[in-house]
Chains A and B, each alone.
Chain A
């Protein structure tokens, strides 16, 4: 760190990402609350454990290989590219940069910001499969989506040198596709193989609602997700950088915040757009669901996700309208898919994340048509075809296909779903039996003590 300005910038950047990581932890807290609230009492502890253990499993694997993939894969295979071992070297688990190192104060916090996105991707899948998947099966999916597939998509489409950005003009500033579409697509692939919960569909195929055990827990959960999502937005930016450091086509000496592609934006802009897209989503969901509380709250989230691809550049009113359009599409698509394909997406994750992310990418291709995708020369501009292809790559190629194939293999090996008897008595059967037995024994003992005194 030579000079006061460099030192200040480094320390500010280090602190900035650290704060975003702490905020983003609330996303996981929110997902846990949402899942537990949506599950029935007989599955609470297993549902919670299933999501909590995503944290360590994705963390260690993201340390071992996920972070390396991000730096080594931006041009893998495509257009004459290959694995970039040189860029990846500093991000290998045995690199000195991946540890306590006074000469590198950024890698740890930047790694952590990406890692929290990884938890989110895995947690999205976790919600859709509650009450019937084996934890061991889900945790394999968590590692795959959290430390392999999403980070490949990030290398391709969420990296300043990614091939999708260069060739397709792919633009996804706050991760409509790179987190939400891929995780929703992955969840869809898994639930197609996993099947619905017992009782979800009547014999004639009519879907039954399985109401949440604790609606208030769901409500607080989704509000925590909103809060963490704000931190997520900040984490997607580079907080302060000079044109010289970017090294692109920007002229002059004005420092700026940038998106992940090093193209200029500001925290102020994304704050406008975050709140307006949240509002558009809430309002549209309220109308389309006729005031259903949970669809309204989820609609707020789906609204933000729909607008996220372009929320670095949109006008706030555009963000609001795009969010509202997305929510109407997502809501209708969710029920159509449920009825048509008999799919049980327990928390609406495929719709809120997957469909909203896909639709958001497509819309941004039209609204931002011709805008530069990057500050570097020779990159394709943002365009509808590039955004549509990007959405297909995220949702189907890197999301749906791996989820479906791995779940199919697990199903063939008989290690995907819990036995029917266990599903009926609940995953927490042992804890509940022990609890009920202990309760009965202590009540009996107290009564005996009271009788002895009188």
Chain B
């Protein structure tokens, strides 16, 4: 939204040699923008101007081999436009805008700087410089030496520098920027709140700041003692945001973290999507190592994990159903999302509770400066977002809403999908307030509500809701210690009403309630040690099912399962130890304790047999904490950097999970319910070891990586055929513990800047399951390893964006994967006067390979900064080749014979148009 550039640039009175390249140009009555484009292309420089100034000017010009400055001077002869070069940049502005005064940033130290003899001239290209600038973070200057601490208190050795980085204009925190010193391979990354803390030696230092949409910035420091440096940075003018995904150009090589994918929303909006809906989950699916069963499935599988093994956090709250409309869209409004992080491998010790991955999504903070917003009209949904200050510079708000009109699309689904005759609606609402008490204390309160309703007929209705509220107080205790305190409440419920047959009419309700609190600290304990530590607690209260008669005629038997309560607590500590510039180790331990809380009754079973109603030995009543599972989770990683841009890493982590999805389908379905570990159901455990090579090329322009992993999963649940999944008072009799293993290699090449940006990845991976409990009478596939439903070994992904001009770009998205495994009937027979089938071993066959290519064209308007609104248009085609990728295979009896069909959900090219408006 805030891609508007503001430049307050300070430069020396002597002009640096401007652009090096020479320009040959021939123009007839051209616009100034055309002129600029030619010069920029030939000379490799950048030209900035105020569009208002150049709007009406037409240029006719013919020059040979001249410097850009000369060309421009010639071009603007007779106008009042002045050209001012600065390094490799040329500013074109009316001469009255040349301000011969010191900019605000230097007021305090104007005569104490290192370059005392420099004469500063402020060049105000912008008419947007705010007068009440004192409240704002200062824009960092590259030419200024910042003094940290008092020279008289000068210490030697290492000190801590910390502070907040904000977007200079919007004052939004800048997350995910990497900071590192020259000549050092250790790097720190600003967190979601823009906070950073780095250990640096005293003396003259050069700190590099890099990030998305940010020109690599060098900050000159004179360090005497511990200190705070808060600063603002400018996002670089980019007419079109690139489809880049990671800011971690250097961090990918230098941090000890492996398998982290960081995505900033504004960077992905050009990725072509189904129906033009920007969708975080679909972006997650375009990352290596992430797979799904099919296009209409809302869950995703990370490195062989099941769909319920991903912890999905939205502003620290847990989201149990991340989808709208059976998985067509994700439940997150893209306009309110700031960024998201997907941890596939090294899961930081502060996260726990799921064994496969963590997807941490954070909401934007409202603009503390002025009111803005955005609106979007799509084929299926519309959404609007508004943000702005409540108290200027201190308190801001953001609200967003989204709704749908998607019934028409359901009509186009195949009969077999079961939704063809249905109707559906959904909406979601977001609200957030952030307040900054002072430089050291800030508070953020967020709320989220999503609602989905659908029906197959007017007599069968389904609905589900996510509700989350959370508050987070962040405090900087000192330069070395920072903490955050988070509390919140999450709710998920699901409800069915079936009035098809009056006397059997019923309602079925399910709900998860959880309250949570967390304390997280970051402590720069010593020169080479950074400690993360904290504790967290979640109190669960589940209503596993309430089945009630509905209507007067109904004789349905009211049935209520026992409420499940539990307390899941964890303590963690992690030390990141920079042994040397080259070698860094991160070691953490998380101890998790799960208390099952009564009172409720439960059965005990003969341990020699699988639990069943025939092997019950006793029925007990547990009260208070009647069962506890606890254990350590290990998180460790190590990194050795051979050079600045080449490193190897290895890591290991173990995880525990105490909440299990109850579903006998392979995908996440809207009617899934969840179950806590209890006296009979043990926690799932997972272990992953991974290693990788990371190498950047061309000054970090191209990043490459190879990561391999091996993963095991234990005690996760599969269901006996015919298992009763709802209203089951003794679920342990219908489940079977499974063992899983997954391994693979992920190759990735990523280009984050330039005209062409994007990534290519190739993954080879296997995911296999085994039912090896000796007590199982008839184990799946006789107890041998078999491929999981999402075992799709070969996987090629390409996401690219090519900027044709500043305003037009083309994005292409390709996805090739091996077809999903399926269980096919291999023979048929007549039984009870009907035809039935006999199945092969589970997942013994595969559907055809999956291939899809999407294309989009994105048009941004000119940068008329004065315009009140800013709109963009994108149109594209989903599944350009129209390949009929099979989602499933099924058999129906036709004329007495079984006939097989395959169902492709989106089997033709689907064009779309999306219009976005920002104000």
Decide if A and B are genuine partners: no
